[in-house]
């Protein structure tokens, strides 16, 4: 028995030793392998290697352009090491659509005005008998499209005269006649260029004003795109300090086309932001500074006074080249009241009619120009970035009466 027990004990010991060897050899296999000969691509090498610049840039936080101190050129820079040329991340700056002929491209957006105004007028004028009732219906159409009382009377008188001398009325003749009379109302001899290039200095200064939600910030952004597309450098002044989101909104527009945005503290003084924007525009040698202002009700005297102050403070630099009043075309006659009050506080030099895509009241173009004696220079025809068009009377009237 003892021999048997001894044999069992020996067997257990031998097996245990063997097992230890196996475990030991397994452990050995788990030791970290020797450093590989090839470089580990997951970690940046401590030192640059030949050909590194051809690799994808390392994930290091990069300085923005503003943070980089440029040598001022007066003192020789101490050259210790060759400068490290940093690759900038690929620019995501958009290239806006060309601005020429935008109104022609966007004319389908005026379809609501076209149906209500242009088509309605042509149908009535084609009636066999143009009696008093028909002329009244024509008047109603014009008034409903917000053309305004005085211009409506002028147009109807003009049409009556000319229709009388026509023998037969072909659709082409009527269309031509209506086109001419509408063009007379809209006006073809006004200077509708947005003044951004004063002769004697840079930058051109444009301020954008209007009541809440008319599309000021959107228009400022779209206008920046138009200017950049035409080869200008643009600085945006976020003088709407009521809401932090307003400056963000403007800055986003600016970033898309590469325009620098100057902003101030929330609830800060809008006049000082506007002043700083022009100052920076001067220092940067920019072509144009666009100042977006907070929406303000024309009925609030304090806010209107503030707007007057913004203008005066900016004019310590130079006179404003343009003060654009942004009016929402869908608000109709109320826009005229706003126009009057804003014009008293800041001299309006141009009108931007926004949201013409969403209304049948395209006639407001005529009424608002009459009210202020100032031309409509730009029209908004949608929320898209390139949906702001220079106003061209011919293209506008053609869009209204269809082709």
Q: How far is the CB of 321 from ligand GTP (least distance, A)?
A: 21
Q: How far is the CB of 216 from Mg ion (least distance, A)?
A: 5
211 labeled binding residue:
yes
Q: Which is nearer to ligand GTP, 321 or 357 (CB)?
A: 357
Task: Give the x-and-dash track for 209-248 against Mg ion (CB under 5 A).
Answer: -------xx-------------------------------
Omega cis (within 30) before 252: no
Tell me the number of residues near ligand GTP by CB under 6 A: 20
213 labeled binding residue:
yes
Q: How far is the CB of 274 from Mg ion (least distance, A)?
A: 14
Which of the choices ligand GTP, Mg ion, none does residue 118 contact, using the CB cut-off of 5 to 8 A by kind?
Answer: none
Does 241 help bind ligand GTP (rule: CB under 6 A)? no
Q: Which residue in 279, 273, 275 sits closest to 294, CA to CA?
A: 273
Residue 180, token pair as written in the block: 């001419």
Where does residue 350 fall: left (phi above 0), alpha (psi -120 to 50 degrees), or beta otherwise? beta
The one among 96, 270, 281, 380 contacting ligand GTP by CB under 6 A? 380
Stretch that binds ligand GTP, among 152-160, 196-204, 255-263, 376-384 (CB under 6 A): 376-384
123 labeled binding residue:
no
Where does residue 373 fall: left (phi above 0), alpha (psi -120 to 50 degrees), or beta otherwise? left
373 vs 378: CA distance, rounded Å = 15
Q: φ and ψ at 323, to 5 degrees?
A: -120, 110
270 vs 239: CA distance, rounded Å = 5
The one among 114, 196, 218, 331 contacting ligand GTP by CB under 6 A? 218
CB atoms within 10 A of CB 9: 10
Residue 213, token pair as written in the block: 């939600």
Q: Which residues pair with 314 in a beta bridge?
A: none
Residues 382-401 that bind ligand GTP (CB under 6 A): 382-383, 387
In terms of C-beta density within 10 A (0-12 exposed, 13-18 middle, 19 or more buried), how is residue 370 classed? middle
153 vs 218: CA distance, rounded Å = 35
The one among 101, 176, 213, 319 contacting ligand GTP by CB under 6 A? 213
374 labeled binding residue:
no
Q: How far is the CB of 300 from ligand GTP (least distance, A)?
A: 13
Q: How far is the CB of 136 from ligand GTP (least distance, A)?
A: 33
Which of the choices Mg ion, ligand GTP, none does residue 372 contact, using the CB cut-off of 5 to 8 A by kind?
Answer: none
57 vs 389: CA distance, rounded Å = 41
Stretch that binds ligand GTP, among 207-215, 262-270, 336-344, 361-369 (CB under 6 A): 207-215
Q: Which is nearer to Mg ion, 202 or 216 (CB)?
A: 216
Does 287 help bind ligand GTP (rule: CB under 6 A)? no
254 labeled binding residue:
no
396 vs 370: CA distance, rounded Å = 17
Which of the choices Mg ion, ligand GTP, none does residue 393 contact, using the CB cut-off of 5 to 8 A by kind?
Answer: none
183 vs 224: CA distance, rounded Å = 29
Q: Which residue in 187, 173, 162 sits closest to 122, CA to CA?
A: 173
192 vs 177: CA distance, rounded Å = 24
8 Å CB contact between 187 and 376 = no
Provide the binding-site residues for Mg ion, judged by CB under 5 A. Answer: 216-217
Residues tagged in the binding site annotation for GTP:
210-217, 292-296, 354-357
Provide the binding-site residues for ligand GTP, judged by CB under 6 A. Answer: 210, 212-218, 240, 246, 295, 354-355, 357-358, 380-383, 387
């Amino acid at each position: 028995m003892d021999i048997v027990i001894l044999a069992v004990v020996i067997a257990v010991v031998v097996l245990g030793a063997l097992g230890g060897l196996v475990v030991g050899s397994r452990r050995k296999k788990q030791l970290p392998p020797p450093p590989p000969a090839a470089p580990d691509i997951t970690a940046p090498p401590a030192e640059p290697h030949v050909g590194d610049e051809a690799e994808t840039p390392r994930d290091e936080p990069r300085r923005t352009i503003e943070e980089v101190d440029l040598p001022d050129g007066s003192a020789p820079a101490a050259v210790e090491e060759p400068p490290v040329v940093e690759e900038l991340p690929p620019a995501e700056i958009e290239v806006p659509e060309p601005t020429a002929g935008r109104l022609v491209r966007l004319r389908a957006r005026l379809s609501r005005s076209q149906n209500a105004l242009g088509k309605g007028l042509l149908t009535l004028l084609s009636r066999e008998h143009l009696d008093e009732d028909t002329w009244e219906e024509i008047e109603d159409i014009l008034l409903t499209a917000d053309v305004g009382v005085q211009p409506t009377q002028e147009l109807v008188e003009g049409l009556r005269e000319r229709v009388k001398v026509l023998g037969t009325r072909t659709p082409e003749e009527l269309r031509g006649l209506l086109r001419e009379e509408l063009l007379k109302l809209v006006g073809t001899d006004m200077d509708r260029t947005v003044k951004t290039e004063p002769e004697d200095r840079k930058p051109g200064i444009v301020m954008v004003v209007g009541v809440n939600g008319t599309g000021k910030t959107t228009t400022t952004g779209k206008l920046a795109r138009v200017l950049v597309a035409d080869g200008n450098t643009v600085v945006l002044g976020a003088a709407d300090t009521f809401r932090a989101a307003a400056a963000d909104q403007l800055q986003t527009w600016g970033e898309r086309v590469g325009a620098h945005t100057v902003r101030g503290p929330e609830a800060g003084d809008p006049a000082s932001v506007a002043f700083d924007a022009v100052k920076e525009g001067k220092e940067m040698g920019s072509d144009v500074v666009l100042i977006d202002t907070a929406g303000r009700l024309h009925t609030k005297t304090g806010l209107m006074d503030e707007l007057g102050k913004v203008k005066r403070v900016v004019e310590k630099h130079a006179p404003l080249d343009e003060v654009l009043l942004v009016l929402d075309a869908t608000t109709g006659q109320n826009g005229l009241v706003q126009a009057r009050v804003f014009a008293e506080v800041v001299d309006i030099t141009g009108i931007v009619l926004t949201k013409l895509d969403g209304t049948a009241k395209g006639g407001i173009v005529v009424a608002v120009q009459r009210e202020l004696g100032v031309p409509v220079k730009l029209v908004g025809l949608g929320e898209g970035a390139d949906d702001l068009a220079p106003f061209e009377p011919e293209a506008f009237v053609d869009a209204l009466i269809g082709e």
